Amino acid sequence: MAFRSLITGIGGFAGSHLAEALLEAGDIVEGTRSPRGSLANIRHLTDRVAAHRCDIRSPSETADVIRRCRPDVVYHLAGITNVPESEADPRGVLETNFLGTLNLLEAMRREAPGGLFVFISSSEVYGRVLPGDNPVCEDHPMAPVHVYGLSKFVAELLVEIYQKTRGLGVLRLRPFNHIGPRQSDRFVCSSFARQVARIDQGMQEPVIRVGDLTPVRDFTDVRDMVRAYRLAAERCAPGSLYQIASGKGVPIASVLEGVLSLTDIPIEVREDPSRLRKSDIPVLFGDSTRFSQATGWRPSFPLPESLRDIFRFWKKQIAEQGGS
């Protein structure tokens, strides 16, 4: 089954990987990209996907894109994803993540009422989770502890209201952490891999700067994650809600160890106070039994393979751009 698909945030980390997965599945792929966003992640796809400039915060620009594309499926990935950035600009993140979702829902209702709206939420909606609550499942109470988690939670509620009272076809997916090539180094795996790649290339003294290594998180390769989104659109009942996770809790210290093993150079690990964002949630990992039962999905990339590919990505970036 091939879909006419629209990916919001197609130029982003997950968006660009999703574009590749959809093309491989035979879908027609269009997308929106932020007026300020880079096209670097999808430069290799420019002859196969149309990336429309669209500020998701604008109701009229959003409606225009939906009217032009008339998609069967919208994968809504556009948004601010970084937690510290969200804390610094609560208004910006709520306008983008929450009102942006409203703009899309309204546009779908008017211009593509028969389409399916796949909302990509986040495991950050759970907020406070006690170590003994893991693995977390879909029914866990939601108590977001920062504005980013709140923005995703309230957008989920809005999506649900549009399904129940406006009859829109929707899915809500809650991915846990996903990692892979092209992710910004404001995220931990990319930060470690980029530093080690720079050290490996002799561009940085052999010291890696790290934050808190004790939190335990759930990592899935982005390529497995976007495959899950496509499977969801094909196989999940409209109105349903699933989380997507590896099911394994991995300490950040193990990620560091995995990345350090990618080079033979001995590297000193140094705590960087500026990276020590205090986490209220020591342990968070998920359970995607329900999603696997509904779709047959299983993650296929083991963590070391993901870390190796992220490391290679940064080595290539450094070779091309000089590693600045």
Which residues here bind a second copy, judged by CB under 8 A? 59, 87, 90-91, 94-95, 98-99, 102-103, 106, 144-147, 150, 153-154, 157-158, 161, 164-165
The least distance separating a second copy from the CB of residue 238, rounded to whole angstroms, comes to: 18
Q: How far is the CB of 8 from a second copy (least distance, A)?
A: 18
* 63 vs 262, beta carbon nearer a second copy: 63
DSSP H helical ranges for the chain: 13-24, 59-69, 83-88, 90-93, 100-111, 147-166, 188-200, 222-235, 252-260, 289-295, 303-321
Nearest to a second copy of 16, 97 (CB atom)? 97
Smallest distance from the beta carbon of 98 to a second copy, in angstroms? 7
Minimum Å gap between C-beta 107 and a second copy is 12
Which single residue is written with the structure tokens 């300490």? Answer: 251
Instruction: State the nearest-atom distance from the C-beta of 291 to a second copy, in Å.
Output: 23
The neighbouring-strand residues paired with 243 are: 174
| Closer to a second copy by Cβ: residue 141 or 322 | 141
Cα gap 54→65, rounded to integer Å: 7
Closest separation in Å from C-beta 102 to a second copy: 6
CA 12, CA 34: separation in Å to the nearest integer? Answer: 9
Query: Whole-number minimum distance, CB 92 to a second copy, in Å?
Result: 11
Nearer to a second copy, 13 or 119 (CB): 119
Considering beta carbons, is residue 154 or 213 the nearer one to a second copy? Answer: 154
Q: In the complex with a second copy, which residue's Cβ is closer, 121 or 246?
A: 121
Closest distance between a second copy and the C-beta of residue 154, in Å?
Answer: 4
Which of 25, 32, 16 lies closest to 313, judged by CA?
16
Q: Which amino acid is at 210?
A: V
For 283, other C-beta atoms within 10 Å of its C-beta total 20
Residue whose CB is less far from a second copy, 44 or 164: 164
- Which of 41, 81 has the CB closer to a second copy? 81
CB atoms within 10 A of CB 207: 12
Half-sphere exposure of 5 (CA within 13 A, CB side): 30
Length of the chain equals: 324
Give the Cβ contact number of residue 36 at 10 Å.
7
Rounded to an integer, what distance in angstroms lies between the CA atom of residue 276 and that of residue 261? Answer: 23
Distance of CA 287 to the CA centre of its chain: 17
Residue 219: how many other CB atoms lie within 10 Å: 25
Six-digit token pair at 94? 């709520």
